[in-house]
Amino acid sequence: MTKIIIAIDGHSSCGKSSTAKGAAAKLGYTYIDTGAMYRAVTLYFHQKHISLTNESKVLKALDDINIEFRTDKNGKSLTVLNGVTVEDEIRKLYIANKVSQVSALGAVRKEMVAQQRKMGQKKGVVMDGRDIGSVVFPDAELKIFMTADPDIRAQRRQAELMAKGDLMSFEEVLENLKKRDHIDSTRKESPLIQVPDAQVIDTSDMTLEEQIEMVCIMAENEVKKLASAA
């Protein structure tokens, strides 16, 4: 069976990661969470007190960073930074508040994009992020742009944070989301854009199961198209 690259880009907290993960599991593809990679870099910079304006320190730090994904016994994908599982730490609000600044650095993006291309070279991947269809895999067979109403995204994010013990007001979460959307969409380096050949999914009124199903149907259609063109 032909395998393709599925690039899912879109705003923060509209369900990209859960959808990408679910679709990858159903299709037998590998899921790659590129946001987790930028979050892991942010955690490392935080731990080592790397100033974002100190270019040589940033470059040296990038050399010292190794990011991998492992799967635990329940099938959950874990982000591993230099041998240590950081999956829970990178989801905390202090990382969310800093990650947009870190991911706006050209040197950081260059390194992450190179690693992401390597991870996807054999196809059969679902990769989610902000620049997957535009920069990392501009030739991806299926490009999806996901979005949802900001209030709904903030509600979902607040519930997620609460489940992890981070108690945040709705306004605070909404502000963080809007700030991240703004930085992600207006930065100089690979801003979040909706590429013309992307198919849009608005998840405001959709369940996770419906989102996964939609991505799988889109993927099957692309594979069929490729088979009939061959």
Q: Kindly state whether residue 156 participates in binding ligand DC, applying the rule CB under 6 A.
A: no
Shortest distance in whole angstroms from residue 225 CB to ligand DC: 26
E strands, the chain, where? Answer: 5-10, 30-33, 67-71, 77-81, 84-85, 125-129, 142-147, 199-202
Q: Is 180 in the site for ligand DC (CB under 6 A)?
A: yes
Q: Is 111 in the site for ligand DC (CB under 6 A)?
A: no
Nearer to ligand DC, 189 or 213 (CB): 189
In whole angstroms, give the CA distance from residue 172 to residue 154: 9
Q: How far is the CB of 102 from ligand DC (least distance, A)?
A: 8
Stretch that binds ligand DC, among 31-39, 69-77, 170-178, 202-210 (CB under 6 A): 31-39
Q: 138: which residues sit within 8 A by CB, 6+ positions away?
A: 195
In 3D space, the residue among 77, 67, 146 whose CA is nearest the CA of residue 114 turns out to be: 67
Separation of alpha carbons 78 and 1, rounded Å: 28
Least distance (Å) from ligand DC to the CB of residue 164? 14
Instruction: Report the interface residues with ligand DC, using CB under 6 A.
Output: 12, 34-35, 38-39, 99-100, 103, 129-132, 180, 184
